[in-house]
Amino acid sequence: MFAKDFVWGVATAAYQIEGGAREGGRTPSIWDVHCRKEGAIFNGNTGETACDFYHRYKEDIALMKEMGIGAFRMSFSWNRILPEGTGRVNAAGVDFYSRVIDELLNSGIQPYVTLMHWDLPQALYERGGYMNRDFAQYFAEYAQTVAKLFSDRVKNFMTFNEPQLMLGAHRGSGKAPGLCLTDVETAPIAHNILRAHGKGVLAMRAASKGHIDIGMANQGCFFYPAEETPENIEAAKRATFEYRLPNWYSSLPWYADPIYLGRYPEPLLSRLKKYLPENWEDDMKEICQPLDFCGQNFYNAYRADENGNQVAEPAGAMYNAEHWNVSPSGIRFAAKWLYERYKLPVIITENGMCCHDWVSLDGKVHDPQRIDFMQRYLLELDRAQREGAKIGGYFCWSLLDNMEWNLGYRPRFGLVYVDYKTQQRIPKDSAHWYKKVIATQGESLREV
């Protein structure tokens, strides 16, 4: 079903699993500061300890090996490597990631490293964060440092995770740094993140030892057709790429078109041009660097009618434990449209489901809905490739239940259950199921 070289992975992010927040010379990121604010995070949870991956990485890598996982998407904490954001390199931080990477490689697992998964060093936030035009330069320095230190062993990188949600964090989503700004202030932030991506790619290519693959893990608002008629499909595609809703910063094309195609999309550009920095057009060449894959996080899509308008889910629709709709056909359309528009192999860099998981009286964690969710999405992904899209891999979010940002430890997305009191790990039924999917290259997905 899926090719031999198809990448079967799991995805994580530093702040969500590492803990060790005050160890090994790490300084705070905006998330450490945000979590201390009264009422900012569900139940006052923080990532101080999280899943304690900082101390338990060997155990977690052994679990992955046992499952037959081929690739581990992890992020580096910028402030663990460069505690002041720029300048001094922290040897203890570098040593930690070196040990993790060696353990992964010795276990036959390829590391896929995201340079930044939302945890901006607090020191840089205090220098203006993404609002500072120099942010792009700071990021390039960090990217160069990582490439110099790790590109002998890490061959796959992503610059940013979901610029859409990084912007959302400045528009009242409740994520760090917890701001609520306007278009005037946020359009330049998005532009600076794109500049940082471009400069980061250039810096990594220049510093790396041998060839490395680089991409970005985007989010975005996808629409799927309510009825699969040619008109409705076309309308859903238009709604996705000719984005018209007020929350432009959540859209896919505002970020994806510049990095892959070198231009901002219409009609958003006409609306936002006036907020972009002077001479923004001069930056486009640097923003649009050749990339090796099109990384896409995909959880759900919104239903669109034959006019491309968003319509409610039908009565009785499927939802996850946080009430996000479940829309398996969406991943098929997304993968096909991405490949058609950007012409790069698509890698699903995140996909998964939070369920109401707990330990049953038999001591196991039964999660039939997660299995059903992944089965449906993977079957649709297979259909997308049979219909012509090139798909390079699939990363399940997530290996472990973890610190779900402002939702704290409430949502459980892991294939492996984490008891946060004891840090005991229990592979859920889905972990055993995924093992079989990987071992059969997807053939077992046909078993219903």
Return the beta strands (E) in 142-290 as ranges: 156-161, 213-218, 223-225
Catalytic residue among 18, 350, 380, 404: 350
Distance of closest approach, residue 354 Cβ to ligand BGC, in angstroms: 7
Distance of closest approach, residue 332 Cβ to ligand BGC, in angstroms: 20
Distance of closest approach, residue 211 Cβ to ligand BGC, in angstroms: 26
Give 227's DSSP letter: S
Cβ-based burial of 243 (10 A; exposed 0-12, middle 13-18, buried ≥19): buried
Is 102 in contact with 150 (CB distance < 8 Å)? no
Angle of CA points 334, 181, 128, to nearest 5°: 100
Distance of closest approach, residue 72 Cβ to ligand BGC, in angstroms: 15
Residue nearest to ligand BGC according to CB distances in the complex: 13
Is 234 tagged catalytic? no
By C-beta, is 96 or 405 nearer to ligand BGC? 405
Is 139 in contact with 85 (CB distance < 8 Å)? no
Distance of closest approach, residue 165 Cβ to ligand BGC, in angstroms: 6
Distance of closest approach, residue 219 Cβ to ligand BGC, in angstroms: 6
Read off the tokens for 217: 């893990």
Is 364 in contact with 320 (CB distance < 8 Å)? no
CA distance 412 to 323: 13
Residues ≥6 apart with Cβ < 8 Å to 134: 127, 128
By C-beta, is 110 or 219 nearer to ligand BGC? 219
By C-beta, is 2 or 302 nearer to ligand BGC? 302
Is 48 tagged catalytic? no
Distance of closest approach, residue 127 Cβ to ligand BGC, in angstroms: 25
Q: Pairing relation of β-strands 416-419 and 71-75?
A: unpaired
Q: Which residues bind ligand BGC (CB under 6 A)?
A: 13, 16, 161-162, 165, 219, 297, 350, 397, 404, 413
Measure Cα distances from 218 to 321, 350, 358 in Å.
23, 10, 31
CA distance 55 to 63: 15
> In the block, which residue shows the tokens 């709604």?
239
By C-beta, is 384 or 399 nearer to ligand BGC? 399
From the list 32, 116, 17, 114, the residue with the least C-alpha distance to 402 is 17
Distance of closest approach, residue 397 Cβ to ligand BGC, in angstroms: 5
By C-beta, is 16 or 208 nearer to ligand BGC? 16
CA distance 67 to 354: 20
By C-beta, is 283 or 404 nearer to ligand BGC? 404
Report phi then psi at 9, rounded to 5: -135, 180
Q: What is the 3-state secondary structure (H, E, C) of 352-363?
A: CCCECCCCCCCC
Give 265's DSSP letter: P
Segment holding 188, helix H or strand E:
helix 183-207
Distance of closest approach, residue 122 Cβ to ligand BGC, in angstroms: 19
Sign of CA dihedral 409, 370, 345, 225: negative
Half-sphere exposure of 128 (CA within 13 A, CB side): 14
By C-beta, is 337 or 413 nearer to ligand BGC? 413
Segment holding 305, helix H or strand E:
none
By C-beta, is 262 or 408 nearer to ligand BGC? 408
Torsion region of 345: left, alpha or beta (phi above 0 gives left; psi -120 to 50 gives alpha): beta
Catalytic residue among 103, 162, 380, 404: 162
By C-beta, is 341 or 412 nearer to ligand BGC? 412
Give 112's DSSP letter: E
Give catalytic residue positions. Answer: 162, 350
